[in-house]
Chain A
Amino acid sequence: MSAPAAGLSPRDSLRVASAGLRARPMRAALSALGIAIGTAAIVAILGLSSSSQAGLLAEIDRLGTNLLTVEAGQSITGQEAKLPVEAPGRITLLDDVRQLADTGLIKDQSVYRSSLIPAANSGGLQVRATALNLLSVLNTDVARGSWLNAGTAREPVVVLGAVAAQRLGIDRVHADQRIWLGHQWFNVAGILEPSPLASDIDVSALVGYPAAQRYLGYLSLVRGEQRAGPPSTIYVRAATGHEAAVQALLAPTANPQAADEVNVSQPSDVLTARAAAAGAFDSLFLGLGVVALIVGAVGVANIMIISVLERRSEIGLRRALGATKGQIRTQFLAESILLAVIGGVVGVLAGAAATVVYASSKNWAVVIPAEAWVGGIASAILIGAFAGLMPAIRASRMSPTVALRTT
């Protein structure tokens, strides 16, 4: 007479587990919300840090990692050293150097919006003489106006770095756009895009070497002759794969007499380090996400305890219909897990949406690490199981006669 032990089909299990949620959808939604907020925060933080890292890495890729910078350092006595005027010419002769451009920092000059600005208000901006091929070496471009040419390089004409233009309050380029530099007016020919690999250029007003010599007195004597210069920074593009070899030779080549007075660096290293830092998520916000998850878990546990108390008659009825203790326990445990997973899925979607919106606004590639969404769903399952275990056991141990006696 006894039929085989009756287990519920997966579909029936799901229907039974969702019965309580369908009966009170508002309550279910609110208690899932806590889990959703926590999961969304965690997914968004992991997604945003990965996306910003991907964005920086893409930027580094675009800029190229083969740029090396040669700068004048300090002498043994602590004074500021200079690069020899011949340094760029010598470096050009090295094997595996593909391109080279130099700028010279004109230390005693500042740039102002007009002649009325007090001399002390230099805004931290620099004046640099520049080689005309600077932009192709830095892989950057003018945002507005035009770059210097052989003609304008001899005239009082200036091109502003991105930050310099902003600080001077110049956002457009027109024929009468002038700035005050070295006790005279210079016409503004153009404004540069930001150059992440050469942040000095961003804060500089750039003039041609001939103009620097003629109007700003930036010159040095080479074998008794006046020459524009000396350069203070040399930007070198090495052949890809030979950066280290070129880097090792740059200092002695630039200044054979005092190689230790030359600083050589690879600016993309800084960006790479910054990308690594961007990939390291913000642990404070991650902590807040975890706190939200815990609060959500407490909410789910609370709702499940109330639910078990409220649904005593349902528990009694199910027992009368032949449900085993295990089936009652499974029902409430599954309901709790289902509730938490709904919250987790909503949270993952919301966190992913936030990442997509923010990353697209920054033109980053959207990267949502697998551990973020897998971890989000997995922690929701764990939270649901943990929060529902005690109420489920309590429901299964409830005597059916006690359960039926209520109402």
Chain B
Amino acid sequence: MSATVLQLDAVTKVYGEQPPVAALRGVSFSVQRGELVAIVGPSGSGKSTLLHIMGTLERPTSGVVRIGGVDAAQLEDREVSRLRAHQIGFVFQQFFLAEHATVRENVADGLLYAGVPAAERHARADEALQRVGLTDRASFKPTKISGGQRQRVAIARALVGRPAIVLADEPTGNLDSSTGLAIMELLHELNAAGATILVITHDAALAERIPRQIRMLDGQVISDVGAAA
């Protein structure tokens, strides 16, 4: 049942021209459906660039990025946007919630650009909120809930479209350690329930708790431990 949801093949990314800075130098790995993967490395190791390229927010200078078998480099803006709307869920360190909208609306907006009618968006938002344990906060504004709850809302928003892969960028970076641990636990639970999740972090201790760890340094993968068979 192991299908490849994400595949990187000799991906490089070079910024600027004089002098050119290579942020990624030939990164190759693949992620199978149902995996929980940590990409870990110090700041400047290229992991943020890698996240943007995996998330199709940025194009690689060379190499191939396949998401669900589609080569993202070949797509137009409209097609790549559609790919993001349907196949990729993002979780950010800063949550990025709309403060004037309710928790339910924030989660439902995860489906806004996927062409889902409003009523269905709200029904699926409630479902996603249930999965992250925030059913009772659905009609709250994000300003009225805690940081950990906000990150749960953001995770629900990433999950609501049932994407092929969830990319979480330092999801515990703005949280205290116990709240961070709770978020990691939630990600484990969601993974156990079938979600494919890729966590980017600089925190080696946090990465230790994740089954597969891809370590990066200076734009290259230096180790890949625990890959699914």
Using known A-B contacts A6-B114, A320-B90, A325-B77, determine if residue A22 contacts B55 with beta carbons closer than 8 Å: no
Which A residue sits closest to B90, measured CB to CB?
Answer: A320
- A320-335 near B? 1/0 per residue, CB < 8 Å: 1111111100000000
- B9-52 near A? 1/0 per residue, CB < 8 Å: 00000000000000000000000000000000000000000001
The B-contacting residues of A in range 1-51, CB under 8 angstroms, are 1-9, 11-12, 16, 19, 22-23
Residues of A that sit less than 8 Å from B by CB: 1-9, 11-12, 16, 19, 22-23, 313-314, 316-327, 399-401, 404, 407
Using known A-B contacts A320-B55, A322-B113, A401-B52, determine if residue A313 contacts B96 with beta carbons closer than 8 Å: yes
In the assembled complex, the CB of A7 is this many whole angstroms from the nearest CB of chain B, namely 7
The reply on B120 being an interface residue by CB < 8 A is no
Which B residue sits closest to A396, measured CB to CB?
Answer: B77
In the assembled complex, the CB of A320 is this many whole angstroms from the nearest CB of chain B, namely 4
**Residues A19 and B98 in contact, CB atoms below 8 Å apart:** yes
What residues of A have a CB within 8 angstroms of the CB of B85 in the complex? 6, 321-323
Known: A11-B118, A400-B57. 18 other contacts (CB 8 A): A1-B87, A2-B83, A2-B86, A6-B85, A9-B117, A12-B118, A16-B112, A316-B96, A317-B90, A317-B96, A321-B84, A322-B81, A323-B81, A323-B85, A323-B112, A324-B113, A399-B58, A404-B96
Using known A-B contacts A11-B118, A321-B110, determine if residue A5 contacts B90 with beta carbons closer than 8 Å: no
The reply on B109 being an interface residue by CB < 8 A is yes
In the assembled complex, the CB of A239 is this many whole angstroms from the nearest CB of chain B, namely 71
What residues of A have a CB within 8 angstroms of the CB of B185 in the complex? none
Which B residue sits closest to A403, measured CB to CB?
Answer: B57
In the assembled complex, the CB of B124 is this many whole angstroms from the nearest CB of chain A, namely 14
Q: In the complex, A316 Cα to B48 Cα: how many Å? A: 15
**Residues A23 and B99 in contact, CB atoms below 8 Å apart:** yes
Q: Which of B94, B99, B115 contacts A6, CB < 8 Å? A: B115
**Residues A3 and B81 in contact, CB atoms below 8 Å apart:** no
Q: In the complex, A323 Cα to B57 Cα: how many Å? A: 11
Q: Which of A5, A9, A404 contacts B82, CB < 8 Å? A: A5
- B65-90 near A? 1/0 per residue, CB < 8 Å: 00010100000011101111111101
Which A residue sits closest to B84, measured CB to CB?
Answer: A322
Pick 10 A–B contacts, CB within 8 A, sort by A: A5-B115, A23-B99, A313-B94, A317-B92, A319-B81, A321-B113, A327-B113, A399-B57, A404-B92, A404-B96
Using known A-B contacts A2-B86, A5-B78, A401-B52, determine if residue A407 contacts B114 with beta carbons closer than 8 Å: no
